[in-house]
């Protein structure tokens, strides 16, 4: 067993390193981070604008007025989140190359807008917000990568205007960005013109049909979700931060799905997807942290006889309430622990499948697309994410499922520790005894 | 005065460790500035630290940190998983001091 683990670790560590050090994936992750405060701001106002029962309390007309008063908060942030992600990616990638990050960001934004249709239902000079949000997300990501690369290419070629000495620094910088930006944006203009003569009509609809729609429909399915969840668990089992590694690949898909749900939610339509960013964040991770360890803490309090377990419970519980669970993962320990392997891998997958079917049958509504910060305590985050009390109840049921799966394994671990302590060997590292 | 920087994905779990390390430093009568940040901020904060310790779950980033740390001439290491899990401030503090001395 130990040898097998050693081999796996030798495979996983370089994979994690590669994924985390890939400049495009890093820029993507950091780009989303730039947009995150705005997305959360917008999400809070979607929750406030859609408080359950409020329409019955204050009447239909007053409720409509209330909703339209709060509307701009999310319209200016969530609905057009693609724009912020693009600026984020463009500037972070440019920063990576040591360039002027702000120019990289705005060049990416302008490149994206050049590719975006500027008519809506026959009216010219109008950009439909739909193409600035979820629908434009993939064009936005690809554009931001390309724009930042071109901007770097032209800058490194030295095709810049050099100002004589004595010209203020800020002026010199804006002139030095002039030629690279002109060349970059001209390239995108040419691409746009070419696409107007092609059957697809625009880059937006081409990328949407050929890249985004197939990817998101794959990502919204149960098989891909199980693979993602399993990968997160396997990485963590070796003590590597599974979320960070797996999310860098899946986040664009999960965010796009979430935003499509949000648009439907705000329009009062049926939610199109079950799996989305919040499905993972609130129902797989948001119950004590990765692997839903709130149930494990509960188990420790109920079963724990050994000193090691009791101590761990005291350290782990307060952090676990806010979905921080490294004390449990490294302290139980879960990593590299053969006794923890089965429940650690099995529980999240079973919960994912169970949650999926409960939402598919409509007993619990799927997440609305509102972003709930990942440190929001369980039950509350499930209710907020689905805008329903059922979401909270489902989490309680899920915790019970995880608890049941862990029960026999936790008992075995506790018994082991207890025996060791009784024989006076103190708390011992199970890695050695296993 | 020693300055110890800790980093993990969001700076959440390492901040638990920070409070325990501060207690340990205090009981030894040491003057120490100990703080935790999210993974990206560590690249910036490294400038004013004597040592960087990263959570074991972020050890795949060690190489990247080490490259940057060369510029400031500070040591980087990942925290031992057992001490991390037990939130053992005392032993992590000792490790940090060992690294600085080297």
Q: Is residue A145 part of a domain?
A: yes
Residue A425 has what pLDDT?
A: 60
- Of A191, A219, A247, which residue is a domain's last? A219
Residue A432 has what pLDDT?
A: 41
How close does chain B come to A30, measured CA to CA in Å?
A: 9
Residues whose CB is less than 8 angstroms from the CB of residue A128 and which lie 6 or more positions away in sequence, other chains included: A117, A120
Render the burial of B33-63: b for 16+ CB within 10 Å, e for the rest: ebbbbebbebbebbeebbbbbbbbbbbbbbe
Q: Which residues pair with B34 in a beta bridge?
A: B4
Residues A178 and A270 in one domain: no
Q: Rounded to an integer, what distance in angstroms lies between the CA atom of residue A305 and that of residue A412?
A: 11
Q: Is residue A72 part of a domain?
A: no
- Strands (E) in A30-180, as ranges, are 119-120, 123-124
Q: Is residue A370 part of a domain?
A: yes
Q: Rounded to an integer, what distance in angstroms lies between the CA atom of residue B53 and that of residue B36?
A: 9
Q: Which CATH class is domain B2-101?
A: alpha beta
Q: What is the pLDDT of residues A250-277, one digit of tens each?
A: 888 998 899 889 888 888 899 999 999 9
The H-or-E segment that residue A394 falls in is helix A389-422
User: Does the distance separating the beta carbons of A326 and B57 come in below 8 Å?
Assistant: yes
By Cβ distance, the residue of A30, A239, A315 closest to B57 is A239
Q: Rounded to an integer, what distance in angstroms lies between the CA atom of residue A396 and that of residue B79?
A: 34
The domain tally of chain A equals 2
Q: Rounded to an integer, what distance in angstroms lies between the CA atom of residue A127 and that of residue A121?
A: 10
Residues A160 and A248 in one domain: no
Nearest in space to A418 (alpha carbons), one of A297, A311, A293, A296:
A311
* Banded model confidence at residue A433, pLDDT cuts 50, 70, 90: very low
Q: Rounded to an integer, what distance in angstroms lies between the CA atom of residue A288 and that of residue A376?
A: 10
Q: Which of B5, B7, B8, B24 is catalytic?
A: B8
User: Does the distance separating the beta carbons of A429 and B82 come in below 8 Å?
Assistant: yes
Residues A323 and A248 in one domain: yes
Residues A27, A145 contacting (CB under 8 angstroms): yes
Select from A245, A326, A433 the residue whose CB has the most chain B CBs within 10 Å, as the one to mutate to test that interface: A326
Q: Residue for token digits 């859609």?
A: A50
* DSSP characters over B44-81: HHGGG-SEEEE-GGGGGGHHHHHHHHHHHT--EEEPPH
Comparison of pLDDT for A134 and A405, the residue scoring more: A405
Percent of chain B residues past pLDDT 70, beyond the cut: 100
A327 in reach of chain B (CB within 8 A): yes
Q: How many residues does chain A have?
A: 434
Residues A215 and A301 in one domain: no
By Cβ distance, the residue of A16, A327, A329 closest to B87 is A327
Render the burial of A235-271: b for 16+ CB within 10 Å, e for the rest: bbbbbbbbbbbbbbbbbbbbbbbbbbbbbbbbeeeeb
Please tell me whether residue A417 adopts helix, strand or coil conformation.
Answer: helix
The structure tokens listed for A70 are 């709060």
Residues A415 and A313 in one domain: yes
Q: Is residue A314 part of a domain?
A: yes
Residue A49 has what pLDDT?
A: 84
Q: What is the pLDDT of residues A198-257, one digit of tens each?
A: 888 888 888 888 888 888 888 899 999 999 999 999 888 888 888 878 887 888 899 889
By Cβ distance, the residue of B40, B55, B60 closest to A326 is B55
> Is the ipTM reported for this complex over the cut 0.90?
no
Q: Is residue A363 part of a domain?
A: yes
Residues A207 and A247 in one domain: no
Mean pLDDT over the full length of chain A: 87
Q: What is the pLDDT of residues A393-408, one digit of tens each?
A: 999 999 999 999 999 9
Residues whose CB is less than 8 angstroms from the CB of residue A164 and which lie 6 or more positions away in sequence, other chains included: none
Comparison of pLDDT for A352 and A158, the residue scoring more: A352
Residues A335 and A252 in one domain: yes
Q: Is residue A88 part of a domain?
A: yes
Residues A181 and A243 in one domain: no
Residues of A in contact with B56 (CB under 8 A): 239, 330
Domain that residue A311 falls in: 227-421
Which residue intervals of A177-276 are DSSP H helices?
178-196, 203-207, 213-219, 222-237, 242-266
Q: Rounded to an integer, what distance in angstroms lies between the CA atom of residue A81 and that of residue A42?
A: 10
User: Does the distance separating the beta carbons of A319 and B13 come in below 8 Å?
Assistant: yes
- Of A219, A249, A272, which residue is a domain's last? A219
Residue A187 has what pLDDT?
A: 95
Q: What is the pLDDT of residues A162-183, one digit of tens each?
A: 777 777 777 777 777 888 999 9
Residues A212 and A231 in one domain: no
The H-or-E segment that residue B4 falls in is strand B2-8
Residues whose CB is less than 8 angstroms from the CB of residue A127 and which lie 6 or more positions away in sequence, other chains included: A113, A116, A117, A118, A120
Residues A360 and A244 in one domain: yes
Residues A205 and A280 in one domain: no
Q: Residue for token digits 């499922």?
A: A401
Residues of B in contact with A30 (CB under 8 A): 40
- Of A167, A198, A219, which residue is a domain's last? A219
Active site residue B51: no
Q: What is the pLDDT of residues A332-357, one digit of tens each?
A: 888 888 889 999 999 999 999 999 99
Nearest in space to A342 (alpha carbons), one of A282, A402, A417, A419:
A402
Q: Is residue A428 part of a domain?
A: no
Q: Rounded to an integer, what distance in angstroms lies between the CA atom of residue B59 and that of residue B55?
A: 7
Q: Is residue A4 part of a domain?
A: no
The structure tokens listed for A217 are 């429909």
Residues A258 and A390 in one domain: yes
A335 in reach of chain B (CB within 8 A): yes
């Amino acid at each position: 067993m130990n040898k097998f683990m050693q081999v796996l670790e030798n495979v996983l560590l370089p994979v994690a390193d590669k994924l985390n050090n890939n400049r495009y994936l890093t820029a993507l992750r950091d780009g989303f981070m730039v947009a995150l405060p705005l997305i959360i701001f917008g999400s809070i106002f979607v929750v406030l604008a859609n408080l359950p029962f409020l329409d019955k309390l204050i009447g239909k007309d007053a409720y409509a007025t209330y909703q339209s008063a709060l509307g701009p908060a999310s319209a200016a942030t969530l609905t057009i989140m693609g724009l912020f992600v693009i600026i984020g990616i463009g500037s972070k990638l440019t920063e990576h190359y040591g360039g002027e990050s702000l120019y990289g960001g705005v060049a990416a934004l302008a490149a994206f807008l050049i590719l975006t249709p500027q008519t809506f239902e026959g009216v010219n000079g109008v950009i439909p917000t739909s193409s600035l949000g979820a629908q434009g997300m993939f064009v936005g990501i690809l554009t931001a990568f390309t724009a930042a690369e071109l901007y770097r290419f032209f800058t490194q070629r030295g095709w810049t205007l050099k100002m004589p000495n004595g010209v203020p620094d800020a002026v010199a910088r804006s002139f030095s960005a002039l030629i690279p930006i002109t060349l970059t944006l001209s390239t995108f203009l040419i691409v746009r013109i070419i696409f107007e003569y092609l059957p697809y009509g625009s880059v937006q609809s081409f990328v949407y049909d050929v890249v985004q729609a197939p990817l998101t429909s794959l990502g919204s399915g149960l098989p891909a979700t199980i693979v993602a969840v399993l990968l997160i668990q396997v990485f963590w089992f070796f003590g590597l931060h599974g979320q960070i590694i797996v999310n860098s690949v899946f986040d664009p898909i999960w965010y796009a799905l979430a935003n499509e749900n949000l648009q439907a939610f705000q329009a009062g339509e049926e939610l199109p997807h079950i799996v989305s960013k919040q499905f993972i964040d609130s129902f797989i991770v948001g119950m004590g942290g990765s692997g839903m360890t709130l149930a494990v803490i509960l188990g420790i309090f109920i079963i724990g006889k050994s000193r090691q377990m009791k101590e761990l419970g005291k350290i782990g519980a307060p952090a676990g309430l806010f979905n921080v669970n490294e004390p449990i993962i490294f302290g139980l320990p879960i990593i590299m622990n053969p006794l923890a392997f089965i429940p650690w891998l099995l529980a999240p997958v079973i919960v994912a499948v169970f949650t999926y079917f409960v939402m598919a049958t409509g007993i619990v509504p799927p997440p609305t697309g509102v972003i709930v910060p990942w440190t929001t305590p369980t039950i509350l985050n499930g209710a907020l994410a689905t805008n329903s009390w059922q979401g909270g109840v489902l989490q309680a049921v899920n915790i019970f499922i995880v608890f049941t799966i862990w029960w026999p394994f936790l008992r075995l671990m506790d018994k082991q520790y207890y025996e060791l302590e009784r024989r006076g060997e103190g708390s011992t590292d199970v890695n050695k005894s296993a | 005065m020693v300055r110890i920087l800790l980093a993990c994905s969001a700076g959440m779990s390492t901040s638990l460790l920070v409070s325990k390390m501060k207690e340990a430093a205090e009981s030894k009568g040491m003057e120490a500035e100990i703080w935790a940040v999210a993974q990206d901020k560590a690249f910036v904060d490294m400038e004013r630290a004597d040592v960087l310790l990263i959570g074991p779950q972020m050890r795949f980033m060690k190489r990247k940190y080490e490259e940057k740390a060369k510029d400031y001439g500070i040591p980087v290491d990942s925290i031992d998983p057992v001490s991390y899990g037990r939130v053992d401030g005392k032993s992590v503090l000792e490790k940090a001091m060992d690294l600085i001395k080297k």
